[in-house]
Amino acid sequence: MNTHYLKIALLASALLSSACASTATGKRQSSLMTSSATQQLKTQAPDGSLLAVVRYPAVVDSAAKDKFRQAYMASPIGARVSASATGSVEAENIVDSSIVKSNYFALSLYKELAARLPEHSVLLSPHEIKLGPDGKLTSVPITQAESLPSVVTVDFATYSYPDPKKMMNKNQLTFGDLISPMVTVRTDHRAAVPTHGVLLSSQPLTEAAVGNGYNTAQAALTEMQSGRFSTDVPELDFVSYISKGTRKSTRTASLSLNAPENVVQVTPMEKIRMDGATIASLGKGTKGVADPLKPVFSKGFADRIIDIINDTASEKTAMAKRATAISSYDPSLAALTFVGSDNSDYQARYNYVNRLLDAEKKYLSVQSLRLFDGVHNGEMGAQVRDMLKAEYAILEKRRALAKKQNQATALAFLGAIASGVAIGSQSSKEETQCDRYGRCRTVQRPNYGQQILTDVLVKASIYAGTQAFAYKGQSKAIGNNYLTSIVPALEAQTNVQVSLIDSNETITAIRFDDLKDKLKTLYVEKQRALDTIATRCAYNQDGAASGTWMGVCEGGLANGSGVGVLKNANGSAVEYYGHAQNGLAHGSGYMVVHEAAGSYALEGNFTSGKADGVMRVSKAGNGDQLRTYSAGQDNGSASSSSAVNSPFNTIRTGA
């Protein structure tokens, strides 16, 4: 009997603990937190380039609000959203709150990166979610932060499972001291060809992020085919995910500071629990000094980003966007900057225009700092912190109620089992009764004490069940009440956010245009003639369709340094950066090939359009390999000590 009760007690205890686990608890820290020492920057940004841009959803255009909410609820992470929840005010509020929270917590990451990377090398890029020309959901940068090249861009958003009835279950949640971040880290697709630029991603976003990268690469190709440099900025990967944009699979690997090349590092979705005491201490007076996200997420993620920058920073990450930025000052120079030149006229011009890009970086950096200041240290930040405190208090109540509910459930369970066991095994006892003549018989004698116990237990179990039900209803109501009543405040936050960004942007745009005009004037005044200029002419590949060359031309054909693109009828396409002769790749070059099976890159020497010599080959799933080519044919691996005739080996500026 004692053993039996012990088992029941253990079972109840297990139930209690498992019930607690499904009631708004989270991991102590993100798996992005590295166990190794703090990562230090060991490289420097390519000319004119930033190191990181933090992108996040800041506002939703009013015309896109309904579609955004629908898309969000139609693409839940972790479980299906019940039909009753879809479209409820509370569910919509959960969706809306994810934008406000993304706004606030993205700043934690920005702050961490800005503190650890050189001045003016990290920018904020808030995005507006809106409807595109085709009526599909998309996002566009509100500021010009993404007009400059950056080694990496980091997408950050917070996520909450959009079903208020299940928000306290195991689903992802950003509420009070809980946060579920969704992130991706990408670079230019030319620097990570097989993954279309994606380097790290939260698991649910991976295919959408790679698809987004693929679309951006295709758009860039189309632009260059038309003789223009691409100005396309990829939409937020989170938006690609909920809008069910293009999906592309690729090779993935788990998180590692020594992750191989040409794979996407994948991090699982997590519900992380920030320090409750820190959340509770948040107040207007703290001005965001206390950052509860830093010790559980931002610091570790910043380490990952710095590690990725150390591994990724190269000319390939910056060359295309830098050329785009330079083309606004000097179109005839832009295409020559891909692989540079040792010509003194070129070097002089390049130094000047590079300095102008630095001026732009500084200007946009001031804007980011003020945006951070306005949101984090301003009234909005204070209100978000108040909201977090209130949410935390509510969460704590719910946790307490959930605990009571669990205890009540456990009591009901115990009661039911105990009473069942008692009735089943000990409902009566056999007793031998003897008369005065010595005649004895066995009789069934009711166990009154046990019967009384059974009654009490049954009633207690009913009572406990009722109580459990009541607590359940009560705790649900608390979450819903919050979501219902906080709507006006959420609206206010969003409006303030819009005002803040609009105001910043209006001022910045006007002044930025003004500054750019002044910079252009200064540049034109100071420049001497360039002997060799970039023009547009034909670029070919053996047996392939005719493409476009932007660079040095002669007789209508590519002849010198520049960039060439062509699209074949079968959908495959080629990008080439380097030297050409008679319209064909010739000399040192970097060729990116897009095929149905995937994209890959060849870097080395080309002869008459074909790989010829030791090439660095980047293909999905494998680290970069050195292989020997002859007339375009792969003849096997090359010695690891072999020299690659890279177009990026030459000194760019000659300085």
Partner 1 sequence: MIRAGLITLALSLGFVSASAQDATPPMNVDDFMAIDGSVDNAKGVVQNPASLMNVDDFMAIDGSVDNAKNVVDYAVPSLGNDVPIAAAPIQETCITIMSGFPDNGHEPRYQFFKLTQALTADVDSTLRASLDFFGDSFVTPQTPVTEVIENIANPVFRQAAPEITIGNMGYLIDFALDCETYLSGQIESLEAYDSTLTDVEFNTIIAEDALFMRQILSDSLFRVGAQDHEIFGPSVHAYAGSLVTTRDKIEFSSFETELESLEALYLDDLDGRLARSNDVINSEMDREALANSLEITEDLNQDAKRKSKENMLRTLSRILGGR
Alpha-carbon distance of 583 to 558, in angstroms, equals 4
Mapping DSSP to helix (H, G, I), strand (E, B) and coil, where does residue 74 land? helix
Options 363, 423, 545, 624; binder of partner 1; rule CB under 8 A: 363
| Smallest separation (angstroms) from partner 1 to the CB of 387 | 7
**Interface with partner 1 includes 517 (CB under 8 A)?**
no
| Smallest separation (angstroms) from partner 1 to the CB of 517 | 11
Nearest to 544 by CA among 589, 617, 593: 593
**Interface with partner 1 includes 489 (CB under 8 A)?**
yes
**Interface with partner 1 includes 631 (CB under 8 A)?**
no
Options 82, 84, 444, 466; binder of partner 1; rule CB under 8 A: 466
Q: Which is nearer to partner 1, 57 or 479 (CB)?
A: 479
**Interface with partner 1 includes 481 (CB under 8 A)?**
yes
**Interface with partner 1 includes 174 (CB under 8 A)?**
no
Alpha-carbon distance of 557 to 241, in angstroms, equals 42
**Interface with partner 1 includes 416 (CB under 8 A)?**
no
Q: In the 3-class helix/strand/coil scheme, how is 399-411 assigned residue by residue? A: HHHHHHHHHHHHH
Amino acid identity at 58? A
Residue 342's φ and ψ, nearest 5 degrees, are: -95, 5
Alpha-carbon distance of 534 to 509, in angstroms, equals 30
Nearest to 497 by CA among 405, 389, 384, 610: 384
Binding map of partner 1 across residues 61-100, x = CB under 8 A, - = no contact: ----------------------------------------
Options 52, 320, 356, 412; binder of partner 1; rule CB under 8 A: 356
**Interface with partner 1 includes 193 (CB under 8 A)?**
no
**Interface with partner 1 includes 412 (CB under 8 A)?**
no
Start-to-end Cα distance in the chain: 89
**Interface with partner 1 includes 515 (CB under 8 A)?**
yes
| Smallest separation (angstroms) from partner 1 to the CB of 211 | 36
Mapping DSSP to helix (H, G, I), strand (E, B) and coil, where does residue 69 land? helix
Alpha-carbon distance of 265 to 257, in angstroms, equals 10
Nearest to 592 by CA among 631, 612, 618: 618
Q: Which is nearer to partner 1, 65 or 523 (CB)?
A: 523
Binding map of partner 1 across residues 368-387, x = CB under 8 A, - = no contact: --xx-xx---xxx--x--xx
538, 550 Cβ separation under 8 angstroms: no
Stretch that binds partner 1, among 69-77, 124-132, 260-268, 481-489 (CB under 8 A): 481-489
The CA radius of gyration of the chain, in Å to the nearest whole number, is 32
Stretch that binds partner 1, among 6-14, 333-341, 476-484, 588-596 (CB under 8 A): 476-484
Alpha-carbon distance of 157 to 56, in angstroms, equals 6
| Smallest separation (angstroms) from partner 1 to the CB of 489 | 4
- Burial class (CB within 10 angstroms; exposed 0-12, middle 13-18, buried 19+) of 414: buried
Q: Which is nearer to partner 1, 306 or 411 (CB)?
A: 411
Count of residues binding partner 1 (CB under 8 A)? 59
| Smallest separation (angstroms) from partner 1 to the CB of 470 | 4
DSSP codes joined into one string, 414-452: HHHHHHHHHHHHHSEEEEEEE-TTS-EEEEEEE-HHHHH
**Interface with partner 1 includes 348 (CB under 8 A)?**
yes
**Interface with partner 1 includes 227 (CB under 8 A)?**
no
Options 526, 630, 633, 634; binder of partner 1; rule CB under 8 A: 526
| Smallest separation (angstroms) from partner 1 to the CB of 487 | 7
CA 234: distance to chain centroid? 13
**Interface with partner 1 includes 477 (CB under 8 A)?**
yes
Options 14, 462, 643, 651; binder of partner 1; rule CB under 8 A: 462
Sign of CA dihedral 281, 284, 286, 290: positive
Alpha-carbon distance of 556 to 536, in angstroms, equals 8
| Smallest separation (angstroms) from partner 1 to the CB of 486 | 5
DSSP codes joined into one string, 262-304: TSEEEE----EEPPHHHHHH--GGGTT-S-TTIIIIIHHHHHH
- The residues in 97-126 that bind partner 1, with binding defined as CB under 8 A, are none
**Interface with partner 1 includes 518 (CB under 8 A)?**
yes
**Interface with partner 1 includes 459 (CB under 8 A)?**
yes
**Interface with partner 1 includes 524 (CB under 8 A)?**
no
**Interface with partner 1 includes 445 (CB under 8 A)?**
no
Sign of CA dihedral 161, 166, 170, 176: positive
**Interface with partner 1 includes 192 (CB under 8 A)?**
no
- Burial class (CB within 10 angstroms; exposed 0-12, middle 13-18, buried 19+) of 129: buried
**Interface with partner 1 includes 359 (CB under 8 A)?**
yes
State the residues that interact with partner 1 by CB under 8 A. Answer: 344, 348, 351-352, 355-356, 359, 362-363, 366-367, 370-371, 373-374, 378-380, 383, 386-387, 390, 394, 397, 459, 462-463, 466-467, 469-471, 473-474, 477-478, 481-482, 484-489, 492, 496, 499-500, 503-504, 507-508, 511, 514-515, 518-519, 522, 526
